[in-house]
Amino acid sequence: MTGAESMSQPLRIGVAGLGTVGAGVLRLLAGHGDLLERRCGRRLQVAAVSARDKTKDRGVSLDGIRWLDDPMAMAGDGGVDVVVELIGGSEGVAKNLCEAVIANGKHLVTANKALLAHHGTALALAAEGAGVTLGFEAAVAGGIPIVKTLREALAGNGIGRVYGILNGTCNYILSAMRDSGREFDDILAETQELGYAEADPSLDIDGVDTAHKVALLASLAFGCQVDFGSIHIEGIRHVTPMDIRFAEELGYRIKLLGIATVTDGELEQRVHPCMVPGTAPIATVEGALNAVVADGDFIGTLMQEGLGSGAGPTASAVLSDLVDIARGRVVPTFSVPARELGKIPARPMDRHRGAYYIRLMVVDRPGVFADVAAVLRDHDVSMEAVLQRARDPGEAVPVVIILHETQEREMVRALDEIGALEAVIEPPCMIRIESL
């Protein structure tokens, strides 16, 4: 079949995994089939599907679509041109299927950020070697088209930094804590009841989901190999309503950010709660929304905001890749051909430089603050501001200190010593301050 003939034929799609996103993809294709055909010049047709339970009601018709009990059968199926992998997980069936699809010369579209964070470079090399597309717009920030933005729209820019709110569950929890003053555990339980958080929410609230996406953004932004293993990861379990109130008083808001930048030829990738200035655009991104910011040398600062998960936004992202395949558009998986993806040395977190918020719970008695100040002085850490709330003598009192820019290594050492002081009755809370 010639290229012209193939472009006149339907693009035959196999969907592996019919959960929330898979069902959303089928609904989108059924509802916008005619619109998509006009935009692509050919029909996008679901040819086969596979999932664990054939009898489950997914709210979408499977009439006329072949059911495959084994998703691996899609890789060698002559009636499938492109496979959409929505199984999930970094190993096992999802990995095996993706490798087999590429090896059989079929295009692959996936929303699987964990798989790509661990195996993205190898899969990109395989796909480009086989002359097929590996599309993953749906793997980062759902409905926000950040993959195409970094890879294509900003191709003329040198990217200095890319960062964002990349997990809607965490952003929802932090927003709700600020609005209600309730504790983290209460809000988390509520989000689980509402279905916003998984029964096991650890991937979200411990920062791992965000880190998967940071690894992909870094590769797109800096043309480097995907390096999940070097990411510094912290979650939001230790953030309290007290910290959120102090942040507001100081002119900040607390957000879980994923950040990637190249400093002195080293790649710094980190995920942790940040105090961001209340005037920064990303500070106003509330609820379950995501936002991604790229700093380009010609474009300046660009922020995109939208829903980062859910059937509709993620299915929309899947379709953006399918449309490119249907149109015959071929671009590198990341920002440069996979064989040219270099390895940028990782910058250790203890060499990070920045400003810090620390909160101490101390026994209110004479000499305590002098002891804390002495430790900071000994580690060459200087104070910018101090907040202290008076209570009855002998009671626990919060002391908040804003510290000037310093190296993380010295900050951590100082906190270890401060935490060992007799008057400090809880482990110190540290939150990094980002100047955005």
Active site residues: 213
Query: In this structure, which amino acid lies at residue 22?
Result: G
Q: Are 296 and 287 in contact (CB under 8 A)?
A: no
Specify whether the backbone of 265 is left (phi greater than 0), alpha (psi in -120 to 50) or beta. left
Alpha helices in 181-302 (DSSP H): 184-194, 202-205, 208-222, 241-250
Distances in Å between the alpha carbon of 278 and those of 41, 235, 236? 47, 21, 19
Q: Is residue 282 classed as helix, strand or coil in its secondary structure?
A: helix
What are the distances in angstroms from CA 327 to CA 10, 18, 32, 179, 414? 11, 25, 16, 46, 58
Integer CA distances (angstroms), 123 to 49, 99, 226, in order: 22, 7, 11
Rg (CA), the chain: 24
Sheet of strand 107-110, all strands in order from the earlier edge strand to the far edge? 66-67, 44-50, 11-16, 82-85, 107-110, 134-135
| Contact criterion met (CB below 8 Å) for 321 and 132 | no
Number of C-beta neighbours around residue 16 at 10 A: 27
277-312 burial, b at 16+ Cβ within 10 Å, e below that, comes to eeebebbebbebbbbbbbbbeeeeebbbbbbbbbbb
